[in-house]
Amino acid sequence: MTRRIAVVLFNLGGPDSLKAVRPFLFNLFRDKAIITAPAPVRYPLAAFIAATRDKPARANYALMGGRSPLLEETQLQAGVLAKELSALMPQAQVRCFVAMRYWTPLTHQTARQVAAFAPDEVLLLPLYPQFSTTTTGSSLAAWRQAYRGPGKVRAVCCYPTLEGLVAAHAEKIEAAYAAAGSPRPVRLLFSAHGLPERTIAAGDPYQAQIEATAAAVAARLGEGWDWQVCYQSRVGRLKWIGPSTPEAIEAAVGEGKGVVIAPIAFVSEHVETLVELDREYAELAHGLGCPSYVRVPALGVQAEFVGALAGLVQGALEQEEPLAAGSDWRCPQAFGGCPYKARRAA
């Protein structure tokens, strides 16, 4: 009998029209992984935040043609990954599905599609290389609540130092830098979505994993690169981890250096790369007199990256543990928010 395998790619999702921006924001902020208040408080607060952020968010999506490209990019990744997996496992029937956390196709919708496929095995693959309770943790929790179909379910927890991921980032950085004429001097900024400090203090391993990815990529690039990790997309009044990406740009320019900026936590183009990095931060840099501003593209369907994902899936399917780390990374004991470490300790 042919082995039937469903691979589910998790991502956050994005509005597919300007009308969808407000309900997308509501879905985001009502997630208890984002706002930890009880539901009677969280839901009206989410509605208030969505209403107040609707207009500026619409303006950003209008710059991208009125919609997020994230679904199409993720579907393209799923299609290329499915071909890679079929080549690796020719005796199996492998299908890749896309589940978005905050907009269509929502997790419960994809869960029904997977159940209809009637798989023998289900592999959950977050397109967040670095684990956070606010991304992978939330997506896995939503899947557990939604899926009622057959098949043994395994999940990839994280892969911040996966060799193919690191190699793909280094290749993208070198190519973008060369295409810009190899300006000197420059500072390489690894920009990731930020989180409140209290989230990290509660045991979330995200920051440590971001720094591990950046260090691995810098080592792959070799000596001679001046680099730094920074964080973008701050919202609200809480104190966030830093330095912020705008602060890092200002510091580089203050030292007379140009900027090469790489989205280290984003594997697809979306609002935070196409608007924040390409427009807002580029304008900031140029306004400060930055000698050069080079933005490195997201990984997309870069061959080494997709190949690494395929190998990651194949390896995870061979493990008995439902939660597989997928690389040589292990979270330090202090990060109680890491489910893989918690399971291993048990």
Residue 285 and residue 315 in one domain: no
Paired tokens of 285: 């840099």
Instruction: Return the closest-CA partner of residue 168 out of 229, 239, 217.
Output: 217
Q: What pLDDT, on the 0 to 100 scale, is given for residue 327?
A: 63
Residue spans of alpha helices (H) in 135-260: 136-146, 163-179, 197-201, 206-221, 245-254
Q: How far apart are CA 338 and CA 131, in angstroms?
A: 7
Residue 231 and residue 111 in one domain: no
Residue 141 and residue 195 in one domain: no
Paired tokens of 324: 């597989």
The length of the chain, given as a count of residues: 346
Residue 254 and residue 170 in one domain: yes
Residue 184 and residue 229 in one domain: yes
Q: What pLDDT, on the 0 to 100 scale, is given for residue 329?
A: 76
Residue 123 and residue 173 in one domain: no
Residue 190 and residue 278 in one domain: yes
Residue 131 and residue 244 in one domain: no
CB 27 within 8 A of CB 102: yes
Q: What pLDDT, on the 0 to 100 scale, is given for residue 236?
A: 77
Q: What pLDDT, on the 0 to 100 scale, is given for residue 155?
A: 93
Residue showing tokens 């395994």: 154
pLDDT in single tens digits along all 346 residues of the chain: 799 999 999 999 999 999 999 999 999 999 999 999 999 999 999 999 999 999 999 999 999 999 999 999 999 999 999 999 999 999 999 999 999 999 999 999 999 999 999 999 999 999 999 999 999 999 999 999 999 999 999 999 999 999 999 999 999 999 999 999 999 999 999 999 999 999 999 999 999 999 999 999 999 999 989 999 999 998 878 899 999 999 999 999 999 999 999 999 999 999 999 999 999 999 999 999 999 999 999 999 999 999 999 999 999 998 876 565 556 678 887 888 888 766 665 5
Q: What pLDDT, on the 0 to 100 scale, is given for residue 322?
A: 53
Question: What DSSP line would sit under 101-158, residue for residue?
Answer: SSSSSBHHHHHHHHHHH--SEEEEEES-SS--TTTHHHHHHHHHHH--SSSEEEEE--
CB 215 within 8 A of CB 207: no
Q: What is the pTM of this model?
A: 0.95
Residue 289 and residue 334 in one domain: no
Residue 93 and residue 47 in one domain: no
Q: What pLDDT, on the 0 to 100 scale, is given for residue 1?
A: 76
Residue 217 and residue 310 in one domain: no
Q: Any idea what the CATH number is for the domain that residue 94 is in?
A: 3.40.50.1400
Phi, psi for 157 (deg, rounded to 5): -85, -50
State which residues form the domain around 208: 163-295
| Sheet containing 258-263, strands listed edge to edge, beginning at the edge strand earlier in sequence | 227-232, 186-193, 258-263, 293-295
Total structural domains in the chain? Answer: 3
Query: Of 261, 280, 295, which residue sits at a domain end?
Result: 295
Q: Residues near 92 by Cβ (< 8 Å), separated by ≥ 6?
A: 2, 3, 4, 5, 85, 86
Q: How far apart are CA 278 and CA 276, in angstroms?
A: 6
Query: Of 26, 47, 62, which residue sits at a domain end?
Result: 62
Query: Of 257, 279, 295, which residue sits at a domain end?
Result: 295
Paired tokens of 290: 């930055």
Judge residue 176's burial from the number of C-beta atoms within 10 Å of its C-beta, 0-12 exposed, 13-18 middle, 19 or more buried.
middle
Residue 26 and residue 8 in one domain: no
